[in-house]
Amino acid sequence: MESGLIIKRSSFDFGQTYNRLRTIIDDNPNLKILLELDHSKNASSVDLVLRPTKIIMFGNPRLGTPLMNASATISIDLPQKIIVFTDEEGVTHLAYNDPNYLMSRHNIVGQETVLQKVSGALDKITNAAISDGQ
């Protein structure tokens, strides 16, 4: 993807999508939630309005460390982040960095197996969060 982002439309509202995503990540013993950031809440703290927008940051050192050893600059993009947001029409989406883009951006070679694992995991996690699997 040219922007380096993978964006998916959710079948659920904002709260359901975020809660499903959080539960999926939290229930995975290989992943650790490191940070949750509510941009909308931060905006309201200074009397500004922002459509629902939250980021969840999480990681798996077994996958991230080899990438950081291959290129220290990928550390700016790790741990993984997924943003859940509502667009101007009220539709909920989630977005995350395309691992292929990150590999190119940081000139990482020789980590194709890690890339496949990261890509597969992000796809599985986000698909489960946005649809009921039917």
Give the mean pLDDT of 44-64: 97
- The enclosing domain of 100 has a CATH number of 3.30.310.70
Q: What span, in angstroms and rounded, lies between the C-alpha atoms of 47 and 37?
A: 17
Model pTM? 0.93
Q: Is 106 within the bounds of a domain? A: yes
Domain coverage including residue 92: 5-129
**Total count of domains within the chain:** 1
Q: Is 56 within the bounds of a domain? A: yes
Model pLDDT, residue 133: 67
Residue 80's Cβ-side half-sphere holds a number of Cα atoms within 13 Å equal to: 29
Q: What span, in angstroms and rounded, lies between the C-alpha atoms of 36 and 23?
A: 13
Q: Where are the alpha helices (DSSP H) in 27-94?
A: 39-44, 61-70
Residue 66: is the preceding peptide bond cis (ω within 30°)? no
Alpha-carbon distance values, 13 to 114, 130, 131 (Å): 32, 9, 11
How do residues 59-71 score in pLDDT, each as one tens digit? 999 999 999 999 9
Q: Is 134 within the bounds of a domain? A: no
How do residues 87-98 score in pLDDT, each as one tens digit? 999 999 999 999
Q: What span, in angstroms and rounded, lies between the C-alpha atoms of 86 and 52?
A: 6
pLDDT band at 132 (very low <50, low <70, confident <90, very high): confident
- Helices 61-70, 112-130: crossing angle, 10 deg rounding: 140
